A = this chain, B = another copy of it.
Amino acid sequence: MRKVTIKDIAKQLNLSTSTVSRALRDSHEIGIETKRKVLELAEQLDYTPDPVALSLLNSHSNDIGVIVPDISNPFFAIVIAGIEDVAFAEGYHVVIYQSHDDYEREVLNVKHIYNRRKDGFLVAVATNTTDFSHFKNLHDKGFPIVFFDRIYEEIDTHKVAVDDYEGAYNATKHLIDQGCQRIVHISGPPHLLISKRRLQGYKTALLDHGLPYHEEYVWSTHFDSQQSIEVARQLLKSAIHPDGIFAASDNIAIGCHAAITEAGLTMPKDIALIGFSDLPMAAMLNPPLSSVAQPAFEMGRSAAELLIKLIKKPNENTQSITKVLHTNVVIRASSLRKT
C-alpha cells in the first residue's frame, strides 16, 4: 500500500515540493491562493503528514511503552487503565507490551521500544529477570524509564510501588485478630522484591503478636491461580493443618479458595483466607474473598505522570522519586469470624 505524499500534491498542482511543504506549514512566504489550492487537494487526497518522517526530525514520537508481565492479570490491566488516563490527557499514545514473565521477551520489548523511537517506557519487571543491563544501558543513555509494582531498586530513576510490608502486616494481623494460630503465607516467587517485603510484613506481624515464625509455614508459587490450586492442595494434605492463609496475591488466593472448597473445608470457620490486590473478582467469590486493596489505578496514574515529567524535562529531574502508595485491608466473609 502507498500513502499520499507531498510529492503527489506537488506534481498534480505543478508546484515544487518545498512550496507544498511550506504551504502546509502555513508559511508566510506562500500566497493565500496557493495555500488554498494545496490544502484543498491535500484534503481531497486524504493526505496526512507522515509522523515517522516527522519523528526523524523532531525526535519525539509522543508514544510511550508499557511492559507488564501479563495483561490477563487484572491488576496490571487496572494499572494500564490509570496510565492511559494520564497519557491520553497529555497527548501521548500508550503501546502495551507483555513479557510473559520471560527475560528474553522483556529484552526484545525494550529493544523494540527504543528502536521504534518511543519517548520512554514504564515497566513492571518480569519474574525471571535477574540481569538488568537492558534497562541499565538505556537509562545510562538518558532514556526515560519508570518502574512500577515490580521495581528494580538499583537503577536511579522514578519508581512507584505500594507499601507491601504494611499491607502484609495488616493482613496477617487481621487473621490473628480472628483467632488464627497456624497462619500459612503463600508467597510469590521468592526473589521478587514484592515477595520479600510481603513475607517480612507477615513475619513481623506474627512476632509482634507473640506467635512463632516457622519457615515451613511459608510456601511459594507463581502469581497464577492454576498453579496455586496445586500448591494449596499439597498444603491441605500436609501436616500443617493451617487455620489461616495469607496469600501474596488474589490469583494465589483464588487457587486456595478453590482447593479449600474442593477439600470439603469451609471458610472462614476451618480456614480464614485473605489475598492481596483486591481484584474485582474477589467480591464475586463464594464466600467473598478478603483482600489487601492496592490503588492500582492510582499507581498507573502516578507512574505515567513521572514518566511524562522525565520526557518533557529530562534535565530537571536530577532527584529520583520513589512513590509508595498505601494499602487498605478489605474484610469479607472468607476471613471474618468475629463480627
A residues with a Cβ closer than 8 A to B are 1-2, 46, 48, 50-53, 55-56, 59, 61, 63, 70-72, 74, 77-78, 80-81, 84, 93, 95-98, 100, 108, 112, 115-117, 137, 141-143, 225-226, 229, 254-255, 257-258, 261, 280-281, 283-286, 288, 314
Contacts and interface: CB of A to CB of B under 8 A. Distances in A.
Contacts of A261: 286
Nearest to A143: B1
A254 B279 CA distance: 14
Nearest to A267: B286
Contact of A280 (B61, B81, B225): B225
- Count of identical protomers in the assembly: 2
A267 to B, nearest CB: 9
A280 B142 CA distance: 41
A115 B53 CA distance: 10
Contacts of A283: 258
Given A55-B52, A71-B96, A286 B258 contact: yes
B117 A52 contact: yes
A72 B77 contact: yes
Given A96-B95, A96-B97, A286-B258, A226 B51 contact: no
A314 B61 CA distance: 29
6 contacts: A46-B137, A52-B117, A53-B56, A80-B98, A96-B97, A116-B116
B1 A314 contact: yes
Given A72-B72, A95-B97, A258-B283, 6 more contacts: A50-B115, A61-B116, A72-B78, A93-B108, A225-B281, A257-B284
